[in-house]
Amino acid sequence: MEIELKPASKYERRIFYKEEWNVKDVPDFIIDSITSREFGFDHYGQGPNDRYKTFPDALRLKRFIKVKQPFAAYCSVAFYEKPKQRKGWQQSELVFDVDAKDIPIRTCDCKEGEVCDKCLNQAKDIVLMIKDVLNDDFGLNNINMVYSGRGYHVRVLDEEVMDASSDLRGQIVQYVIGAKEPDLTNNLGFNNLQHFIIPYGYPYNFTRWAKYTILHLTKDSELDNVNKKLLRDVLKERHFLEEDSWGLFRANIGPIRYKRLISAVARVNMGITDTKVSIDLKRILRLPSTLHSKVSMKSTLIKNIETFDPFDDAVPQFVYDRK
Ligand SMILES: [Zn+2]
């Protein structure tokens, strides 16, 4: 069956919250800290303007959502002493927001603002790469992946990152998504990241993302300072990257043009995740388990990312019941 990503009607929303939504599907990492978090709701589809909500327990959250059947529900990445006033900030999850509609180099035929199974799959590949870097290079383990309705959220709750400043988060993000060229004159690369020592990972990690981006380029891709001739040559020579023969690739492109390409790729990679979300310590994110009413999909905590398929695992029943 072809799943159509169209908005949910008010009636469908009611059916969803009455018959399908279960507070038990709200992840433990949120329920365990429910009293420290701010919740926000969008009741009319005009943005989350009902904010500063708090709940003492899951039962009270359940009652509220069952009664209000909101257009959208959110909760803070931050923990506060006084969440009702958004005061007394204690710590925040580290978040990576990968929206399929904003991936810089999409290989599907989606128009702007649309998503399909192809770009959603691309978003999933990106999320897996982000998770690997967080695991391997930062030694982080408390990594939760959530399908957001039109993409993915990676939500990290390890103590080492929860108290990080906006500035440090920005640096971590640049590192993780290969958005900053490695300084190869300095083998220690990013070793000044507070808490973290990453002696050799950076060039390797950068290479991995550069390869990913270059292999997704098409003849119509537009990159800063990369003209049509260079792009053509990159497409012609990139088969070397599939064998990880960077030296041959570089030699055939030429060192000056290679440098120009790498700078452009780093800038492209900056768009892989929404950095504004990552550095915002007081952001609210869609509450997993609730409905993304604009596309009629469920935001879902992912148990097994390898097998997760949004078109199987995040489609509410009412979509199947549509005539
Ligand atoms: Zn698409």
pLDDT digit string (tens) for 184-236? Answer: 555 444 455 655 655 554 567 888 899 999 999 999 999 999 999 999 999 99
Instruction: Tell me the sheet residues that pair with 82.
Output: 87
DSSP H or E stretch at residue 94: strand 94-99
Q: Are residues 77 and 214 in the same domain?
A: no
Q: Name the nearest CA neighbour of 177 among 69, 262, 96, 89.
A: 96
Instruction: Say which residues have a Cβ less than 8 Å from residue 190's Cβ, sequence separation at least 6.
Output: 171, 175, 196, 198, 202
Q: Are residues 135 and 167 in the same domain?
A: yes
Is 97 catalytic? The answer is yes
295 occurs within a structural domain: yes
Q: Are residues 207 and 266 in the same domain?
A: yes
318 occurs within a structural domain: no
Q: What is the mean pLDDT of residues 137-143?
A: 92
Q: What pLDDT is recorded for position 112?
A: 87
pLDDT at 183 over 80: no
Distance from the alpha carbon of residue 103 to the mean position of ligand 1, in angstroms: 9
In the chain, the amino acid numbered 95 is: V
> In which band, very low, low, confident or very high, does the pLDDT at 136 lie, cut at 50, 70 and 90?
confident
Q: What pLDDT is recorded for position 184?
A: 56
Catalytic residue among 42, 102, 137, 274: 274
Q: What is the mean pLDDT of residues 8-12?
A: 96
**Both structure tokens of 226:** 């990369």
323 occurs within a structural domain: no
Instruction: Tell me the sheet residues that pair with 188.
Output: none
> In which band, very low, low, confident or very high, does the pLDDT at 53 lie, cut at 50, 70 and 90?
very high
Q: Give the Cα separation of 136 and 226 in Å (integer).
A: 32
Total structural domains in the chain?
A: 2
Q: Between 247 and 57, name the one with better pLDDT.
A: 57
Q: Are residues 33 and 46 in the same domain?
A: yes
Cα–Cα–Cα angle for 170, 173, 174, rounded to 5 degrees: 85
Is 99 catalytic? The answer is yes
Dmax over CA atoms of the chain, in Å, equals: 65
Alpha helices in the chain (DSSP H): 10-15, 28-31, 58-68, 117-136, 159-162, 166-176, 201-216, 228-237, 239-242, 246-253, 255-269, 275-279, 310-313, 317-321
99 occurs within a structural domain: yes
Catalytic residue among 97, 117, 158, 312: 97
- Rounded to the nearest angstrom, the gap between the alpha carbon of residue 137 and the centroid of all alpha carbons in its chain is 18
Q: Are residues 1 and 96 in the same domain?
A: yes
Q: Are residues 251 and 284 in the same domain?
A: no
Distance from the alpha carbon of residue 109 to the mean position of ligand 1, in angstroms: 6
> In which band, very low, low, confident or very high, does the pLDDT at 130 lie, cut at 50, 70 and 90?
very high
Q: Are 254 and 111 in contact (CB under 8 A)?
A: no
Q: What pLDDT is recorded for position 197?
A: 58
Q: Name the nearest CA neighbour of 290 among 5, 66, 47.
A: 66
- Rounded to the nearest angstrom, the gap between the alpha carbon of residue 224 and the centroid of all alpha carbons in its chain is 24
Percent of the chain with pLDDT over 70: 93
Give me the chain's average pLDDT, please: 92
**Both structure tokens of 16:** 């969803």
Q: Name the nearest CA neighbour of 102 among 112, 92, 94.
A: 112
47 occurs within a structural domain: yes
In the chain, the amino acid numbered 192 is: N
Span 30-52, pLDDT tens digits: 999 999 999 999 999 999 999 99
Q: Are residues 46 and 170 in the same domain?
A: yes
Q: Give the Cα separation of 261 and 125 in Å (integer).
A: 23
Distance from the alpha carbon of residue 255 to the mean position of ligand 1, in angstroms: 34
Span 141-164, pLDDT tens digits: 999 999 999 999 999 999 999 999
Q: Are residues 204 and 103 in the same domain?
A: no
Q: Give the Cα separation of 87 and 92 in Å (integer).
A: 13
93 occurs within a structural domain: yes
Distance from the alpha carbon of residue 302 to the mean position of ligand 1, in angstroms: 21
Q: What pLDDT is recorded for position 120?
A: 94
Q: Are residues 266 and 296 in the same domain?
A: no
Is 32 catalytic? The answer is no
**Residue 198's domain spans which residues?**
181-270
314 occurs within a structural domain: no
Q: Are 142 and 158 in contact (CB under 8 A)?
A: yes
Q: Are 284 and 75 in contact (CB under 8 A)?
A: yes
> In which band, very low, low, confident or very high, does the pLDDT at 5 lie, cut at 50, 70 and 90?
confident
Q: What is the mean pLDDT of residues 71-92?
A: 98
289 occurs within a structural domain: yes
